[in-house]
Amino acid sequence: MNEKYGEYKALTKVGGGSFGNVYLAVKEGENIGYSLKVIERELIEREDLDDFNQEIDILGKLSGSIYTPNLYDFRKYNGKDVNHDNPKELISLKKNDRPYYVTDFFSKCSLSYYITKMKNGFCEPHAKIIFKKIIEGIKFCHDKKVCHLDIKPKNIVINKYFDPIIIDFGFSEEFNESTTFKKGKGSKRYISPEMWEEKEYDGVKSDIFSLGVVLFNLVTRSFGFLRSIVKDDYYKFIIEADSSGNYENYWDSIKFITNKIKLSEDFKNLYTSMVAYDPKKRPTTKEILESNWLKKLNDLSKEEREKRENDVLNNLKNLYKEIKDSDLKIRISDNIIEEKKLTTKGFNSTNSNVYFESDVEPKYISKDRINLNHFIEIIGDLPEVDFMNDLANKIDEKLKNKMSFKSKENLKLELFFEYDKNEIEKVESTMEIELLKYEKGDYLLEFLNTKGDIADYYEHFCEIKEIIKKDLFNNCLDMDIKD
């Protein structure tokens, strides 16, 4: 296989859908594995092309986070000579014009494989570690005003650190506070009752419903009902409990599951609230993270938390060995990665609790520089070199007892925290700061954690942000900081 799309060459097929395929791909001159998704059907409906173009836009909006893939390259359908009023219009795609996009390749397959391999699902203590990261990922999407609308284990992949990453935004939609949707999307086992009933629905609340189904699946390896409809033998009891709040009949109806797996009351309460018939009764992602079920995870000591996370990591690693042995596609892609010594993108979970949000969309940055950690967007005319020199002086003045620094270039600083001038090997934490121009007249001040404890790094980032806001902002005319 030697087909090229832009600068990327497909190596092997790793997945596919109704109108396209996903490949492990490489870029010439690099040893990094990428995910390449291509529309390969010769005749395709206008509606599908619109969805594909929209998915590219949403991936660009979410790029740069630790929860979703980065977008590196794409080709949209240009839409020439097409009747936009006819979404079912069939369009012929020439091979050289087929739309595609390139994102990170997450090499440890989807969560659905791991659930299948578990005899009775993940025990609650392990499921909490995994599910908390999934909720953080969907919270990030919701905070960015994107609802996913197709949440299921197959669309949650595992990166090289064995952390869950949210993928497949083909059904996703952007929203504002008053947005509702009419067109039902998603997979039958996971969609909300309002979708089945073809009502207008809140995309965020529908995502919460799907997450509830994923939670039950994760812990029990089963489903708590077949479909979220009135006629379902099990979900009808959840509808019945909607007004009374008494779910006893529901839990009695699925005793064939709960007799095998003991479920805590905190789990039951969280699950039934997430799959409630009335969307208004479903919790937000923030409320889920603060629920009694997940709260107990936060109450663990640092040592207990690390031990549990290591237990989950080892469990997932062992399951992956079984998955690879039983699935030819995964084995082939894994072998290619090993033989070609490819690295694959991924983020360490220690970043997940300290992500600092910004309204900047990294798709505007040059293709080879996608921000991974923290950044501040600066809008307006800026004397770049003077600004960076002033920043260096202010950092030195305010933090001189904590750190020392050197300037790598005019627009780049390297900071050394807890620096012992007599013994350089005692440096405990370093941070790089670089000023990048990403649009005409606009800049991105990028912070990279290069060494040391992530919590210390985040503390220093916040200190420097305050220096910029308080000490530099007043001295720079025509500058506005968005963070």
Q: 152 and 243: one domain? A: yes
pTM (global) more than 0.75: no
Q: 242 and 139: one domain? A: yes
Q: 269 and 394: one domain? A: no
Domain that holds residue 230: 111-298
The CATH number given to whatever domain includes residue 77 is: 3.30.200.20
Distance from C-alpha of 302 to C-alpha of 274, rounded to nearest angstrom = 29
Q: 80 and 129: one domain? A: no
Q: 28 and 123: one domain? A: no
310 lies in some domain: no
| Whether 63 contacts 71, CB under 8 Å | yes
417 lies in some domain: yes
CA distances from 452 to 20, 195, 400, 412, 427 (A): 42, 47, 18, 19, 9
74 lies in some domain: yes
Q: 10 and 98: one domain? A: yes
Helix (H) / strand (E) element for 442: namely: strand 442-451
CA distances from 414 to 184, 408, 431 (A): 50, 7, 6
One digit per residue, the tens of pLDDT, for the chain of length 483 reads: 568 888 999 998 888 776 788 999 999 888 889 999 999 888 888 888 888 999 999 999 998 788 899 999 999 887 655 555 677 778 888 877 889 999 999 878 899 999 988 877 899 999 999 999 999 999 999 999 999 999 999 999 988 888 899 999 989 999 987 888 987 788 889 999 999 999 999 999 999 999 999 999 999 999 999 999 999 999 999 999 988 889 999 999 999 999 989 999 999 999 999 999 999 999 999 999 999 999 888 888 888 988 999 999 999 999 998 888 887 778 888 888 888 778 775 333 233 222 333 333 333 333 333 334 467 777 666 778 888 888 888 888 888 777 777 777 778 888 887 655 454 445 567 888 888 876 666 777 888 777 776 666 777 788 888 888 777 765 554 455 555
203 lies in some domain: yes
3-state helix, strand, coil in the chain (%, to 5): 40, 20, 35
Q: 58 and 125: one domain? A: no
Q: 116 and 64: one domain? A: no
Q: 133 and 251: one domain? A: yes
Taking the CA of residue 384 as centre, how many other CA atoms within 13 Å lie in the half-sphere pointing to its CB?
Answer: 14
Q: 146 and 274: one domain? A: yes
The total domain count for the chain is 3
Q: 156 and 262: one domain? A: yes
Q: 125 and 248: one domain? A: yes
Give the tokens for residue 165: 């990453």
The CATH number given to whatever domain includes residue 175 is: 1.10.510.10
